[in-house]
Amino acid sequence: MNRFYIEKLTVAGGGRKATVIDFKPGLNFILGPSNTGKSLVMDCLDYMFGFSPKKNRPSKIVDNSYGYERIALHLTTNKGTVTLERKIGDTKITVSGTDPTVDHGLYSIGHTAKKNINSVYLHLLGIDEPHSVRSAEKGSKTQDLTWRSMLHLFFIRQGDVARESSALLAPGAVGHTASAAVLLYLLTGQDANDLAADEDPKISEAKKKALISYIQEKVEEFTTRREKLEETLASFNITDSRSSVEQARKEIAELQDQLDAATKESRQIMSQIYEWNGKFSESKTVGHNFSVLRQQYQSDIRRIGFIIDGAASIKPVRKKVKCPICGEETERVQDDSFIDASAAELEKIKKHLSELSDAQHSVERQQEAIIATIHTLEKKKDAIDSLITNQLQPQLSSFEEKLEQQLKLVRLSSELEVVRQNENQYRGDLFSKETEETPESLKHNIFEDYEYDIIHGFEEKLREILSASKIGGAATARLNMENFDIEIGGFKKSVSMGGGFCGILNTITTLAMSAYLIDLDRNSPGFYAVDSSLTQLSEAEHKEQSNTIKQNFIEYLIAHARERQVIIVEQTKRMPFVPNEDEEKGIHVIRFSRNKEEGRYGFLNEVYNPEDQ
C-alpha cells in the first residue's frame, strides 16, 4: 500500500533567511514555550495540505506572514520524493520531485478543478479512481471523496484537539454522514455505489433501549470476569500455559527416567550384595572345614606324639617262647621299628598343618575382601536409595504438583477464551442494536453500514493504547455507534470527561484509528500529527510521575517510534519529561527556547515577541 511521510517544511522568500524544519520517519517532538510558533508549524503544514482560509477559520501564516512569501513541503514516498510549493495567499500549489508516478505542474486547491491538489494527495495514498460517498441521511445525495475530508484522522490542529464531539468525525460544517462514509471507505473500500438500500426497522425504541441496557450489563459482567482471569493468569507470569504443560510433562518424564534408572541400579547392586554374601558363606564353610581339619591334625599330632614318647620310655624285653611248628623254645625280642614310622607320620601331619594354616590365612583374607566389597556395595546402594528418597521422589512430586498447576492454568485459559468470545459476541450484539434505525426514522443510518468485525479491531487497538497510558477503565472502552465516539465504563466522553481528558482521548482515538488503517493495509498516509494534546490535561499532584497518563502516553509513543511517523507539538512545561534525541530509537526532538541567546528561538527566523526584542 502507498504511504508517504513528511521530510521537511520550509518557509522562505521576502529577503528573509529561510526557515527549515526537518522531520524524521519516526517520533518527532516540536517543543517550546508559548508564542514560539509551534502551532504555526501545524498551520503551515495544513496550508500545504490544501487548506483554504475562511472568516471563521483563518490561517495564521496568511494573516501574518512576517514578510515570508512561500512555503515548501517535502514528502517522501515509496518511489521517491514529492515537493509542493505554495505562495502565501495563493490558491495554486506547484508540484515537483523524483517520484515518477506524480505529474509535475501547477495544481489548484479546489477539488473540483480539472487539475487539483486533492488528486495528488489521493494518488499518494494509492487512490487513483474517483469515488463518491453518501453525504446525507435522506435520499441518495453523494459527494466526492477528498483528501481534506479524511485529514482530520491524521492531522489534528490545536483548536480541534479537545473538542467534545467525536474525533473520528470531521470538525466544522462537514456532515456526520459524509465524514463517517469517508472513514467507512478507508476501512472497507465501500463507496456510495455499494451502500445497501434503506430499511424500515420494526423494533420499538423502548425495547431497543431495554435490550441495549441488558446487553451492556452482560458486556460488563464478561469484562469483569475476563479482567479477573487475565489478572490471575498474569500473576503466574506464563505466556503459553499449554507449552508449560508440555514442558512440565517432559520434565516429569525425564525425572521418571532418572528414578527408574536409579531403582534399577539399586536392584542390581542388591543382587551383587546377595552374590557376594553367598561367596562369603561359601568361604566361611571352607574356613569351618579347615578349622575341623586343623583340630583333627592337632589330635593326630598329640596321639602320635604320645605313642612315640611312650615307646621311648619302655626298655626292650627279651622273652622265651615256644615255636608252634617245631616245638623248640626261642627268644623273642620286642619290635620298635614303629617308632620311626610314627615319627615320619608326625612330620607329615605337621607339614599338612602348616599348609592348612596358610590356606586358612588365605581364606581369611578372601573373607576380608568380600566383606569390604559388600560394604562398598551397601554404601553405594544407600547413596542411590538416599537419592531416590530425598531428591528424585520429592522432585517428582514437585513436578507433578507443577503439572497440576499448569493444567489448572490451561483450564483457566480455556475459560478465558470462552469469556472473550462471549464478551465479543455481546459487544457485537450491542453494536448491532445501537446501529439499528429507530422506528420513526426512514433515514439511512450510515453507521448501520459498519460491520462489527471492523470496529472490533479498532476497539482492540484503542484499548491497547488506553491501557498502556494507564487510563482508568481502559478495558471497558468501546466505540458507541450512537454518537460514533468512544465511551469508557459505559459513559460517553462528552458527558464524563473534561476538556483536558477530551484532548488526550481524542488524540488516542485518532492515533488508534490511523494505526489500525495501516494494520489493515488500507489507504492511509505514513504520518500522524497532533497539536497540544497534553496542554489541557491536569492530573492529581499526589500521583507518582510513573502513574500519570502523560508519562505513560509519551512512553508508549517512544516504544512504538519505529512503526510510523508521529509528530507531537507540545508546550515544554506540559511534557512529563523531555525525551532525548535518539536516532537509533527513532526519536527526533525540535526545541524552541524563546531565548535569543540560547538555542533556536522559535519557528520563524528573526521573528521575536515584542517583549523579547
Same-domain pairing of 248 and 193: no
Torsion over CA: 323, 328, 332, 338 (sign): negative
Q: How far apart are CA 446 and CA 450, in angstroms?
A: 8
Whether the per-residue pLDDT at 78 is higher than 90: the answer is yes
Does position 198 have pLDDT exceeding 80, yes or no?
no
pLDDT above 70 as % of the chain: 88
518 and 603 in one domain? yes
Q: How far apart are CA 100 and CA 85, in angstroms?
A: 18
- How is residue 38 written as a grid cell? 509551534
What is the Rg, in whole angstroms, of the alpha carbon atoms belonging to the chain? 51
- Best-predicted range by mean pLDDT among 268-272, 274-278, 321-325, 589-593? 589-593
The CATH number of whichever domain residue 116 belongs to comes to 3.40.50.300
Residue whose entry in the numeric block shows the C-alpha cell 520531485 = 97
Side chain identity at residue 575, one-letter code = M
Closest CA to 513 of 479, 489, 548: 479
pLDDT in tens, 425-449: 888 887 887 787 665 546 778 898 8
Global confidence as pTM: 0.65
The residue with cell 538416599 is 386
Regarding whether 273 and 193 lie in a shared domain, the answer is: no
Q: 339, 369, 386: which is the final residue of a domain?
A: 386
> 346-350, 472-476, 567-571: lowest mean pLDDT where?
346-350
Looking at residue 320, its pLDDT comes to: 65
Q: Which residue has the higher pLDDT, 454 or 197?
A: 454
d(CA 157, CA 408): 51
Q: 369 lies in a domain?
A: yes
Other CB atoms closer than 10 Å to residue 34's CB: what's the count? 12
Q: What is the pLDDT of residue 43?
A: 95
Confidence of residue 540 (pLDDT cuts 50, 70, 90): low
**What confidence score (pLDDT) does residue 434 get?**
79
Sign of CA dihedral 495, 496, 500, 504: negative
Q: What SS3 class is residue 74?
A: strand
Last residue of a domain, one of 344, 371, 386: 386
3-state SS, residue 398: helix
Residues 262 and 339 in one domain: yes
Is 210 a domain residue? no
28, 568 in Cβ contact below 8 A? yes
Helix (H) or strand (E) holding 29: strand 27-32
Residue 79 has pLDDT above 70, yes or no: yes
How high does pLDDT run on average in the chain?
85
pLDDT tier for residue 200 given thresholds of 50, 70 and 90: very low
Report the distance separating Cα 65 and Cα 324, nearest Å: 178
Same domain, 380 and 473: no
Within this chain, do residues 448 and 547 fall inside the same structural domain, yes or no? yes
> Both 299 and 194 in a single domain?
no
- pLDDT classification of 288: cutoffs 50, 70, 90: confident
Q: What pLDDT score does 496 carry? A: 58
Q: How confident is the model at residue 39 (pLDDT cuts 50, 70, 90)?
A: very high
**Exposure letters 470-491 (e unless 16+ CB within 10 A, then b):** bbeebbbbbbbbebbbbbbeee
Residues 193 and 129 in one domain: yes
Please tell me whether residues 250 and 348 are part of one structural domain.
Answer: yes
- Separation between Cα atoms, residue 78 and residue 518, nearest integer Å: 15
pLDDT tens-digit readout, 258-273: 878 888 888 888 888 8
Q: Residue 278: count other Cβ atoms within 10 Å of its Cβ.
A: 11
In a domain, 43, yes or no: yes
Give the count of domains, the chain.
2
For residue 104, pLDDT over 80 is answered with: yes
Lowest mean pLDDT among 22-31, 324-333, 381-390, 573-582: 324-333
Give the residue among 182, 178, 173, 184 at the shortest CA–CA distance from 141: 178
The DSSP-derived string for 114-154 is SSBHHHHHHHHTT--S--EEE--SSTT-EEE--STTTGGGT
Q: What pLDDT is stored for residue 144 in this prediction?
A: 92
Does residue 522 lie within any of the structural domains?
yes
Q: What CATH number is given to the structural domain containing 340? A: 1.10.287.510
Domain boundaries, position 75: 4-198+443-612
CA distances from 72 to 41, 59, 85, 94, 104 (A): 12, 16, 4, 9, 15
- Residues 316 and 450 grouped into a single domain: no
Q: Are both 173 and 258 inside the same structural domain?
A: no
Q: Does the pLDDT of residue 162 top 50, yes or no?
A: yes
Nearest residue to 168 (alpha-carbon basis) of 447, 434, 427, 489: 447
pLDDT value at residue 585:
95
How many Cα atoms sit within 13 Å of 191 on the Cβ side? 12
Residues sharing a CB contact under 8 Å with residue 258, sequence separation 6 or more, in sequence order: 392
How many C-beta atoms lie closer than 10 Å to residue 82's C-beta?
Answer: 24
User: Where is the domain boundary, 337, 358, 386?
Assistant: 386
- Answer yes or no: is 220 within a domain: no
CB 100 within 8 A of CB 28: no
Residue 168 shares a structural domain with residue 298: no
Q: For residue 230, is it within any domain?
A: no
How much of the chain, in percent, has pLDDT values that exceed 90?
44
Task: Establish if 397 belongs to a structural domain.
Answer: no
Nearest-angstrom CA–CA distance, 80 and 531: 28
Is 396 a domain residue?
no
